[in-house]
Structure 1
């Protein structure tokens, strides 16, 4: 069984038988008659380091650098955004049961497991069986810091400080290195991160420091929690139904449970007393046994010769029993093997601690896992009987008489001052609402005033226009009256003129009728004179025409005779002396003939 993984069904049955037999043979973690040394109430401080500087550093990195960090260290940066509920954490601490390394809430046992923290951190470089452990022979602290940070020996020695039995280096010295070289994995701030670069898993160390710090505070009755409170609360939220129902895309490669928890966790402000009362009476039905982001896989339940899982931390070692919380994996809860858990814790000092560390490291080379069939959070009869008679450390016992429904516990129980404060806030809210309403009414009134001003201005303009129109009408009416007066005068004048025209017409007709005879006689005389003159002109014209005809005849006759004489002279001159002369003589004869012919027409 220690050398390999068992078949799912057979493995579960075999482990069931082995666990019950071992528990019966070896006994429980603590025997009957055990006197608890734990105080009734633990005053635990959950004050965390200021993470603002880390957030600022993270915000300064590029996406490429962030992805490199995710690849090396998983989803650790999301823890920067997990809010610490101090009331809840202090209440949780009261229920830490060091005898069984688990939280015991009434009839319920819960504890974060290696598988759950591994699923939450989601670091791809983790090798689940390769755990962090402090080697027996290690270099001195300052030599290791030189190897991790790359600082010189002189710088290291001047920055080393002692804190109790431990040596450390200040945050300011390391912050400069982170800001200067954010992309270099070798600039880790602790030996743990230095070992993470070698693909070891940090989950066992984180669990060990969480369990160790809770146990120390419980045993001392007070103290400061030194561990990852953010991761513990994220785990608790997932089992306590304080997360809104969301679809967990667990089979998607980029799904991040921590990111989902941060965005979907319900914010409740519950006093510590309410949390304690609620957890004190917690029942199985109130628990989300299997976290919604948890995928059923192989479960580590023991290492080597140990009947449970030993965890090596940074300062000491402690063990826990995964078989105690099988319901967190959806399996049937049977009787777990718990013998030796009380003696599992030891610090890294003393004579034999190195030997014990070596044994645990060797045991992790022989891990045993089980594969079971998910059948729901059922329990066996043997487990129920054992759970009823089990002896626990000093933890708050269930109080059945004062038990109330979970919803009532989650309601804030207010003090008188808080009631007055809420009443004041309520009245203040009412006043604010009333002021807001008055402001709104004031705004509407202002708008109404503006509208009224616009209307008044509009009416003023209309009134001014009406008055101007009235003045224009008065002016037009006055002009119309004047024009009417003028028209009346003109009409009277027109009537007078018409009368005059009528009289003048009658006078003209009268004058015309009396002067027509005289004018006729005068016209006849003028006509006779004109006829006489016309007759004389005709006679004169006839005389002139006769005289003109005579003169024309004389003129043509004289011209013809003159041409004939000239033709005779030329014919005599040129005779027959040449052909030209003869032609000229013929031409002259023709002229002469034409002259004679023309004379006949004159």
Structure 2
């Protein structure tokens, strides 16, 4: 099928590599289509720090973006040492022989070539085996888009993650690990960048000066002009009710990727999920507890795996009401970190008007900002309403004038229609009278036809009777002639010739001419 033949090309478009320039300060920026994806990556906290706020991708956000639920179980740990072809064949709806025959090495990994999976998927689609087709298409997406390792190849790790059906923790782990491991080294991030970019763009303003200036200002200038007031905090993330905050003995969340392990700090991302940032986080909650390559420390990997058997989930009863604001204590802490970090780009003045800062510990600044902006929005709405009311009155007068014109035109049109209807009525009446006349004439002709038919039937019957009488008369005369002939034969004796005999003979010949020949026999 056409969609199968283009899986590889579409997958390649989704996983375009991001180049990493040489860093000049303590932070790094990543490119996506030659535009910086993030202006600041603070490796110690596993987040991106801006002027007065921080952003970091979370398990819950990745789950929402991909529409894949998070399984509260131990995620993908590592590729099994022994390859279970039966398990792989059952997951991909293939035979064990097909899997084992096409299982090949590629670089330092093993797996199935994309060419083989494309061919099998195309055959399944042609046969209408959609369950097998969907499984094979899904594993290709896992191997080419979500967890790529080698070009045109789906490795054992991607297949194992597909079988485990819990890819979100591994995706976030690969994202954080790739950013952390590539920091200061240059090169390209081979995975997760499209998803990271989609997450980042979902937080940026979708309208207003940030969008209006995209043709006049550089990307970095527009991003560095944003403040916490500009970020779209309250979006689809407001539906998140439960947040994974810790695992086992770790106060944060240790993640296991395809190549390494790294922790991330959900306490820094609560505002993204709609909760209140009450104050600066505790040191234990943002400590760099995990960061290592899996092959280098198997014991540590097992410890992280055991931690996922005890997942610490918190809900609104612990995290508080959803208002997506930050308290001054947290905001001050972020600003102090910004002063020490040195942002990689020059700070820009906000593109849109910011609400005044309220220096009160008892009232959150964001509460006042939102109330102030709501008041301003209502005043603007009131002005717009007055303008709409004025326009509505003008439209009403205009419509009334148009109504009078339409009514005059309608009256004239009705009079014209009335005349037309009267003419049509007279025409129909004349046509009706003509039709009645024709019907009466037709009835008269029908009666005459019936009378003539009756006369013809009577005449025919009379002729038949006359023919019967004539036939009977002819039959009677024929019988008499035969009788006379017989009598004549008996009584006639040869007589001498005389005038009387000649007369009798002539009479007999005459009578013979009167009787048909078939009567004489």
| TM-score normalized with structure 1 length | 0.44
Q: Which has the larger radius of gyration?
A: 1
| TM-score normalized with structure 2 length | 0.50
Higher relative contact order (CA 8 A, sep 6+): 1
